Amino acid sequence: MVWEHRDKAAIVGVGATPYYPRGQSWPRTTNEMIGDAILAACDDAGIKVQQIDGFAYYASAMAGYVDKMDTASLMEMLGIPEVTFTATLTSGGGGSAGSMGLAAAALIAGDATYVVTVMALQQAKQRLGTVFGALAPDPENSFLQPSGLVGPGHLMSVLARRHMHLYGTRREAFAEIVMSSRQNTLNRPGAMRRTPLTLDEYFAAPMLADPLCRLDFCLETDGAVAVITTTSDRALDLKQKPVYIHGAVHGGRAQWGRAFAWMGMPDEYFASAGNKSIADRLWAKTGLSAADMDVALLYDHFSPLVLMQLEDYGFCARGEGGAFVESGAIRFDGGSIPVNPHGGQLSEAYIIGMTHIREAVEQLRGVAINQVPDAELALVTGGPASLPVSGLVLRK
């Protein structure tokens, strides 16, 4: 049965700082960038920052993986008088899309009127790409870290290898995901990588964790993105056309669990993006399927996981992700399902999933740089990482 609260909450404002190469946002602090993003989102929505009374974070309210976001500090900094809701989804970037469900829950329950979701990355001190290597080994990661799998990309290369083994997936498929994303930033002034990428250049890139090369890893970026949500009735009085939260789910199955921090997943989960149960629930909740989506904003921290999400969400069958992307299916220009027309985290910027929500909103407002004609429904995903992972359908 479809969800009774479809479209009862909406995204009404989006704001962002410029995106910076890793570490280069300094001397701007994390909180300064968060403040700029929130104020820009309020301005976009046409509300005053004092009207914000809810915070719905994800990633345990961490800014990146070493810094934290604190509601009281943000209230003090921005002059927000009172909050009636402040909560976070647990774990890491897997909850990015699901944070819109947390916001909707607060709004529909009447626990807040204007909710902000924000993420910021400031990597002057510690880069995210080798964050695990910098952690003191705790008893749990003492079973992982000594292997020299020093970052998330190294861990995900293990999953990619298994997918290649089971299904004959080729590096050409990973290349196509990166080249497609790059094609989408050629006309995008704020993107980190804006030069065309050829297959030869892809294969010439250094291998960081074979089967993954440097270009399969997402960018390391600084910046902040904030999103304002409210109830759909309030949304009608605001500046922008509302973008409705049609369905949002987070969570996941124990067989995925800590995923590449654990490596114990059974085969059907191991060579996946852990989003299958999320997809099943999202499609049940919305009464929709992959075929209904006009555009897909898939969390692309590492290129093979895009391919596996396409399988999880049913854009193609399990094991056929490689052939599907190699056919050109995910291209903005001519593909059957344009994936990440903003260039995603591989080519535009990496703010732990928030750029995907931002792009979905722009697509559904009809103002995207690479606009999918008449886009009405957008899929946004979070993760693939330790649970929760998440999925979101937004509607015009």
Partner 1 sequence: MSVTLSIAVPGDHIAISTNPATEPFWQAARERRLTACQCGSCGAFRMPPTPFCPKCQSKQLQWPTLPGTATIYSYVVCTRSPYPDVADFVYVPIVVDLDGAPGTRLVSNLVGVDPATVAIGQRVQVEWNPIQDGWLLPVFRLAD
161 is a site residue for partner 1 (CB under 8 A): yes
Least distance to partner 1 from the beta carbon of 311, Å? Answer: 18
- Residue in 79, 136, 200, 374 binding partner 1, rule: CB under 8 A: 136
The residue annotated as part of the active site, out of 58, 65, 299, 313, is 299
Q: Is 208 in the site for partner 1 (CB under 8 A)?
A: yes
Question: Does residue 203 belong to the site contacting partner 1 (CB under 8 A)?
Answer: no
Residue 375: which of 330, 338, 321, 322 has the closest Cα?
338
Q: Which residues contact 387 (CB under 8 A, 6 or more apart)?
A: 91, 94, 251, 252, 256, 257, 258, 259, 274
As a whole number of angstroms, the distance between CA 185 and CA 192 comes to 8
* Residue 244: strand pairing partners: 10, 395
Using CA atoms, how far apart are residues 109 and 310, in angstroms rounded to an integer?
33
Residue 125 engages partner 1 in binding (rule: CB under 8 A): no
Minimum CB–partner distance for residue 123 and partner 1 (Å): 17
Q: Residue 140 interacts with partner 1 (CB under 8 A)?
A: yes
What phi and psi values does residue 292 have, to the nearest 5 degrees?
-85, -15
Is 350 part of the annotated catalytic residue set? yes
Which of 4, 27, 82, 142 touches partner 1 by CB under 8 A? 142
What Rg do the C-alpha atoms of the chain give, in angstroms?
19
Q: Rule CB under 8 A: which of 90-109 touch partner 1?
A: none
Please report which helix (H) or strand (E) contains residue 366, including its range: none
Q: Does 144 bind partner 1 (CB under 8 A)?
A: yes
Stretch that binds partner 1, among 52-60, 141-149, 296-304, 331-339 (CB under 8 A): 141-149
Helix axes 171-183, 303-312, angle to 10 degrees: 100
Q: Label the pairing between strands 9-16 and 243-251.
A: antiparallel
CA distance 149 to 218: 17
d(CA 223, CA 40): 13
Site mask for partner 1 (CB under 8 A), range 228-257, x = bound: --------------------------x---
273 makes contact with partner 1 (CB under 8 A): no
Minimum distance of partner 1 from residue 53's CB (angstroms) = 40
Q: Which stretch binds partner 1 (CB under 8 A): 62-70, 111-119, 134-142, 323-331?
A: 134-142
Q: For residues 198 and 104, give the distance between their C-alpha atoms in angstroms, rounded to a whole number.
A: 42
Q: Is 299 a catalytic residue?
A: yes
Instruction: Give the Cα separation of 213 and 30 in Å (integer).
Output: 30
Query: Considering the rule CB under 8 A, would residue 165 count as an interface residue with partner 1?
Result: yes
| Position 134 contacts partner 1 (CB under 8 A) | no
291 touches partner 1 (CB under 8 A): no
Binding site for partner 1 (CB under 8 A): 130, 133, 136-140, 142-150, 154, 157-159, 161-162, 165, 207-211, 254, 262-264, 270
